[in-house]
Structures are given as structure tokens and as C-alpha cells.
Chain A
């Protein structure tokens, strides 16, 4: 069954949220908690923790967003995985159901990149219209909701094998700011959910419910209020508007593929940074010929995916990196802005582990022979880490509608165009080099540089801006052009910062819910 919670009439002008992940799921709970009825339209199915499987490909086929997409640009993904630009989830709870759990905050200057970094050729840098100080109270709320370790009295996760290699290497090359978090998975029982059993499966969904997701917290709590109408298997294809340019309904395909119309008083789009601009572009009309809320021309532009890369190093002795929490290991020393390293912005190093199936597919795509197979032969003696850092917004990195390829519903598929900025390349190479030094320091016998995976962090395609000509939404995520349209996911990000984005998406959603509730009360919308 696709409908959950208390049904709301299709003819009732409602608050409609598109998507149920970090942004949409959080917003749904925060609004219903304040007594506001909400409809959530989720394109994916209502999978539960019991449905998950400890198997990489089986879980991928169960959870991942596999609708066709196309790619272009010089990024390697366009060659290796041309139809899989992003590795995100299509299910209730969205990508929070497969994320790892790292929750660092953004730094103050990362909200002011244009002022701090200056003008960087080819980049479309812009300061956020909000500051860290404004977001801090919401970071606190988000960390408490998500049960982030290391903060608000939550105890740290213990060191797993991969972390022992990582942290010892960090110490030996002079890093100080390493720890097993902050990480939104319980080290001990918290918020009605148990401590981690260290089963090693995060990207496959956490069967044990120790990891925070909107599936285990916000969605069930919103349903308990009796004010949520959750419609799974409901893919929104268009947002319509009235003669005044206010949105008045959404059209969506239900579980049978039939088109439905839901009247809307307010629409919040949280479909992740590829589907969100796709929906706005699909909602073009004579009044909004370039797409809804796109007078700036910035919808779909400034697509960011973080500067990433992995290093897998082999040792004489066993590591067994796959045992335990995948990303419970963070080094923050390189997250500073220090242009003397040859690039603007910073990056984190975080532990990561793939099983043999995914390491074979993503470790060095396209290769074969003994050079390739030794990556797998040394699997048990392998430690892994991930570089995740700020990438720069560029206007030409862009999600557009591909009018020559359609999905099973006949809709144009999104095309994702991406080229690395030279700053991204310099940062990635620095990260690779530091990772190799780190592993060398604890006796690695070989190490391998793995290129970026299909993007797990997708950001920036409907960005916040002070001025309407520079971006799509204002500091509350409200569209500059359409007063009752909001963007509620990572698409709002004006810049990517170095930190993993989920905590910031949740903090922004909590803040946005407060704003929407207040506006609804005062008639501001």
C-alpha cells in the first residue's frame, strides 16, 4: 500500500512536500509537530529496516534511484557510469536511509566564500544570505535530533579496525583533529533506538535502526501526529500555478502510473539536487518559460558534488575494514582554508569501506588484469579512506532536461554536466597525497587512488541568494519568484563547504519549518 497516515482530500489546498529525505522528512515532522497538516509525495516505496539486506548489489537494486539519467562533461563518471551520475536513494526516508552518518558543521567562512576566497576564475562564488551564527541554534537542534556522537553529551563510537589504521596514521603525520565522529549513529541507546552492532553495512540501510534517518525518526513521528498524509510511489511531474504566479497544485504519477492532481497552498521541493531542478524545469509555463522560479537562470546551475576521492592501502597484517561503522572516523585538520596548499577551501578525511563487489566496480573502473585483481586479493589487509572537500560552484556544471531521452513515463530525463574546476583537481590531489603519507606512516605496502564514486552529495542547483538575480531562493529557502514555493533540500546550498551535507540540510529544514509555520500564522504566505 502506498498511502500512509491520515488521508487528505485531493481538493484540499494543502502544504505539499515533495520528497521524504533529510530535507522533506524533517520538514514534515517539524510542521506536523506544530499542528500543520502536510502531504508528503515520495517517488520511492516505503521500505522498512526489515526489508534491507546485507548485500551490496542486492541492496543497491532495492534502494538506489535507478531511473535513467544521462551525463556529459569531462568528469570520469560520464565515461565509467554514464547513466549513474549520482548514488542516492529512491525510497521513503530518501538518501538518509543509506548515508554513512558523518555530521560535521560548516565553518563560519564557508557561508562567506566569495568574501573569503576572493574572485576565482571560472567559479560562480557567492556568499550565503545567512551566517553560521544564524544557523548555530538549528545545528544544535539537528545534532540532538540525529543523536550525533561527541556533542550534546553523546558518547563517541569505539575505534573499529579501519579507524585504528586511520587514526594512528593521522597521529604519526602530525594531525591532531581526528576522532570517531561526530557521527549520527548511536554508540549507546538513545532516542528509543539501540546502540550500533557494528555490522558494517551503512550504504545498504541499517537494519538495526542505530543510524539516524528520517525513516526511523521524523516520518513515524509525523505519522503519529495524525496530520501526515504520506503517499509513497508518487512521482511528482509538475508544479502548476495560477494567474498570479502562485503555485496551486502538483501533478504526480501514483503507484499505478496514473496522473493525479493535488491542490496545494504551499509546495516545498526536496527531491535532491538532480530531481529538484528537474521538477522546476518540467514546470515551465508561458508565465515561467525557463522553468518555475527561474528568472535568475540559476535553476539547475552550480551543481556541486564535493571534491572526493578514495585511497585504499594494503598492509602486511589484516585490517578487515568492513567490520564496524563505515565512516566513524573523521580527520578535520585539512578542513581549514589555507591557499598555501594550492587551492581554496578545505577537506575532511573520513574512513570508508566497500565490500569486494563494490570495490571491484568502483575501485578502478574500466581496468582489468593483475594490476586490478591485486586490489581484491589484498582485501582483508586493506584500509580505506575518503577525501571529501569543498568544490566550487560553476554555472556550466548543470542539470538540464534531456529532450532526446525519456524515462518509462515519457518524461525527459535529467542530464548532469560536470567539469572539475582546477581548484577541485588541486584539492583532490592534495588529499590523495596526504592519505598516502598517512598510510605510509603506519607501514602500508601499497596504496591505490580511487576516483570519485557516483555522487552521493548533490548540491546547489537552486541556490540561496540575497539578490534575486543571483540565485533561486532566499535565506529561508523561499523562491524569489514564487511566494508559496520553497526548496528544502541541499539544492539550496549556495556553496558546498567541506562538511558532509546532511546535518546542514536538516538544520536548514528545522529553521525553514519555523519560518513557514510563522508565515502561515501571520498570513505571510
Chain B
């Protein structure tokens, strides 16, 4: 594993194969899916490594993070079982290193057709004519529900418990009939507001 080199070769910091396989393990532990093959995890690691190549900040964070991981693991992180490896990651979850891996993984791991296949998602459908003849309504473990508008009693739009029910609450009617005073904006303050009256009193001084 390469340490960040001293100036001027810092920009050439390279991550070794060992670092790559540690990164793959980090991603698998952080985002464990028993049904996923290795391919999506490897591609996600490569995406992260490529992003790190393009950003000095991510590169140094990633390199230093992978090194520190070995320290926390008391050896090779790859040798830890899932529980122990998860505990190590919990200790570093607020670091830039882990945040960078987490964000990039979420954006890329689940945007992978092999992952979609593993979870049963079918991806693009328009070229197959959508699902109109391919099971958009094939759920059969519940009864067929009504699709039309309910034809019974209409919604009671304002509960009967509401005081000073506006007279225009049905359809239309007079706007002004509802207002008993001109307090249309709460910021100037209604007369029953302590805060409003205080502010008003201040203003009058």
C-alpha cells in the first residue's frame, strides 16, 4: 500500500491492488447484499478510485483512510468477519474517507444492471411496450379494488368542530364575509397576539 508521498510526487500517489481489494471489502461490508455478485462491488470500487484520481482531496483522504483502517483492524481489514468489520466502519463513519465511499457507492452500486437483476428490477421498459401487456396489474394476492371516484357522501372539507366556520366554505360565496377584521397578515400581528402588541408598542415609542 502506497503512502502519500512527499512533494512533488503527491499527485502520483497510486493505490495498489491490495488497496483496491480492501476498498471492495469496505463497500461489501458497508452495503451487504447476499444476492449481489462481485462485479457490481468491483465496478463501484473502480469508480471510486477513478474519482479519487481526479481529486487531490479525495485521493489523500482515501489513501490515508485505507491505511488507518489497517490500524483500527489490528491487521488486515480483509481478514475481519462482517460483524468485526462493521464495527470498524462504525468508528469511522463520520470521516471524509467513509463519507466519500458511502456517497459514491450509493450513487453507483444501485445504478448497475447486474444489481437490478439481483433485486428483480426490470429496468428500461418502453422498448418492450411498457407493462400494459406485461403484468402492470398482475398482483393477485389482494382483491381488485375500485378505481372510480367514491360515489357516497362527499368529503366533509372542514370538520364540524372548527369554530367560526367560514360562510364561503362550500363553493364560492363572499370572501370578506369570513373575515371579522382586517388581520390578513400575521406579521403585523392580530390584536389577540401578545408578541404582536409588544412589537406594536415598541414601534410607537
Q: Cβ of A357 and Cβ of B139 under 8 Å apart?
A: no
Contacts of B31 in A (CB 8 A): 368-369, 372-373
Q: Cβ of B147 and Cβ of A56 under 8 Å apart?
A: no
A440 within 8 A of B: no
A161 within 8 A of B: yes
Contacts of B33 in A (CB 8 A): 373, 376-377
Q: Cβ of B130 and Cβ of A373 under 8 Å apart?
A: no
Complex Cα distance A297/B147, Å? 46
Q: Cβ of A373 and Cβ of B32 under 8 Å apart?
A: yes
Question: Which residues of B (147-205) have their CB < 8 Å from a CB of A?
Answer: 147-150, 152-153, 155-159, 161-162, 164, 166, 168-173, 175, 178-179, 183-187, 190, 192-193
Q: What's the nearest-Cβ distance from chain A to residue B180, in Å?
A: 8
Stretch from A36-44, A152-160, A236-244 that touches the partner: A152-160
Interface size on A, residues (CB 8 A): 91
Q: Cβ of B157 and Cβ of A132 under 8 Å apart?
A: no
B141 within 8 A of A: yes
Contacts of A136 in B (CB 8 A): 171-172
Contacts of B178 in A (CB 8 A): 112, 115-116, 127
B9 within 8 A of A: no
Q: Cβ of A337 and Cβ of B175 under 8 Å apart?
A: no
Complex Cα distance A126/B168, Å? 16
Contacts of B164 in A (CB 8 A): 118
Complex Cα distance A156/B134, Å? 20
Asked whether A163 and B145 contact (CB < 8 A) given A324-B137, A356-B110, A379-B120, the answer is yes
Q: Cβ of A320 and Cβ of B124 under 8 Å apart?
A: no
B187 is contacted by which of A178, A322, A395 (Cβ under 8 Å)?
A395
Q: Cβ of A337 and Cβ of B162 under 8 Å apart?
A: yes
Complex Cα distance A198/B33, Å? 30
Asked whether A131 and B173 contact (CB < 8 A) given A119-B192, A171-B145, A337-B158, the answer is yes
Q: Cβ of A176 and Cβ of B152 under 8 Å apart?
A: yes
Q: What's the nearest-Cβ distance from chain A to residue B109, in Å?
A: 7
Chain A residues with a Cβ under 8 A of chain B? 53-57, 107-109, 112, 114-116, 118-120, 123-127, 129, 131-134, 136, 150, 156-161, 163-165, 167-168, 171, 176-180, 195-201, 207-208, 317-320, 322-324, 332-333, 335-340, 355-357, 359-361, 366, 368-370, 372-373, 376-377, 379-380, 395, 442, 465-467, 469-470
Q: With CB as the reference atom, state the residue of chain B lying closest to A170.
A: B145
Q: Cβ of A54 and Cβ of B126 under 8 Å apart?
A: yes
Complex Cα distance A196/B184, Å? 45
Question: Which residues of B (122-150) have their CB < 8 Å from a CB of A?
Answer: 122-127, 129-132, 134-139, 141-150
Interface of chain B: mostly helix, strand, loop or mixed: loop
Complex Cα distance A46/B179, Å? 47
Q: With CB as the reference atom, state the residue of chain B lying closest to A114.
A: B184
Complex Cα distance A112/B31, Å? 49
Complex Cα distance A168/B139, Å? 12
Complex Cα distance A469/B188, Å? 10
Q: Could you list 16 A-B pairs, sorted by A, with CB under 8 Å?
A: A108-B170, A108-B172, A114-B179, A115-B166, A116-B169, A164-B142, A200-B125, A320-B139, A336-B156, A336-B159, A355-B121, A355-B123, A356-B119, A360-B109, A368-B93, A373-B33
Q: Cβ of A377 and Cβ of B136 under 8 Å apart?
A: no
Q: What's the nearest-Cβ distance from chain A to residue B25, in Å?
A: 14
Q: What's the nearest-Cβ distance from chain A to residue B112, in Å?
A: 9
A198 is contacted by which of B111, B130, B157 (Cβ under 8 Å)?
B130
Complex Cα distance A179/B116, Å? 30
Q: Cβ of A178 and Cβ of B102 under 8 Å apart?
A: no
Q: With CB as the reference atom, state the residue of chain A lying closest to B116.
A: A356
Q: With CB as the reference atom, state the residue of chain B lying closest to A442.
A: B142
Asked whether A158 and B137 contact (CB < 8 A) given A163-B145, A198-B132, A356-B119, the answer is yes
B135 is contacted by which of A57, A323, A368 (Cβ under 8 Å)?
A323
Asked whether A133 and B190 contact (CB < 8 A) given A168-B142, A323-B131, the answer is no
Q: Cβ of A120 and Cβ of B30 under 8 Å apart?
A: no
Contacts of A129 in B (CB 8 A): 175
Q: Cβ of B186 and Cβ of A119 under 8 Å apart?
A: yes
Q: With CB as the reference atom, state the residue of chain B lying closest to A135.
A: B172
Contacts of B134 in A (CB 8 A): 323
Q: With CB as the reference atom, state the residue of chain B lying closest to A54.
A: B124
A115 is contacted by which of B86, B139, B179, B187 (Cβ under 8 Å)?
B179
Contacts of A171 in B (CB 8 A): 145-146
Of A127, A366, A376, most B-chain CB atoms within 10 Å: A376
Q: What's the nearest-Cβ distance from chain B to residue A497, in Å?
A: 12
Asked whether A336 and B144 contact (CB < 8 A) given A112-B175, A116-B166, A176-B152, the answer is no
Of B30, B102, B121, B173, most A-chain CB atoms within 10 Å: B121
Given contacts A160-B137, A317-B141, 12 further A-B contacts (CB under 8 A): A54-B127, A108-B169, A160-B136, A168-B145, A171-B145, A171-B146, A176-B153, A198-B131, A317-B139, A360-B110, A368-B93, A380-B120
Contacts of A116 in B (CB 8 A): 158, 162, 166, 169, 178
Contacts of A200 in B (CB 8 A): 125, 130-131, 136
Q: What's the nearest-Cβ distance from chain A to residue B33, in Å?
A: 5
Complex Cα distance A335/B35, Å? 41
Q: Which 6 A-B pairs have the closest CB atoms?
A: A133-B172, A197-B130, A199-B130, A167-B145, A54-B124, A338-B159
Contacts of A336 in B (CB 8 A): 155-159
Q: Cβ of B155 and Cβ of A379 under 8 Å apart?
A: no
Q: With CB as the reference atom, state the residue of chain A lying closest to B161.
A: A340
Q: Cβ of B137 and Cβ of A159 under 8 Å apart?
A: yes
Q: Cβ of A335 and Cβ of B155 under 8 Å apart?
A: yes
Complex Cα distance A335/B139, Å? 28
Contacts of B149 in A (CB 8 A): 150, 156, 177, 179
B10 within 8 A of A: no
Q: Cβ of B145 and Cβ of A55 under 8 Å apart?
A: no
Of A116, A158, A167, A196, most B-chain CB atoms within 10 Å: A116
Contacts of B67 in A (CB 8 A): none
Contact with A along B32-72 (1 / 0, CB 8 A): 11110000000000000000000000000000000000000
Q: Cβ of A369 and Cβ of B86 under 8 Å apart?
A: yes
Complex Cα distance A333/B157, Å? 9
Q: Cβ of A109 and Cβ of B166 under 8 Å apart?
A: yes
Contacts of B142 in A (CB 8 A): 164-165, 168, 442
Q: Cβ of B185 and Cβ of A201 under 8 Å apart?
A: no
Q: Cβ of B145 and Cβ of A164 under 8 Å apart?
A: yes
Contacts of B138 in A (CB 8 A): 161, 320
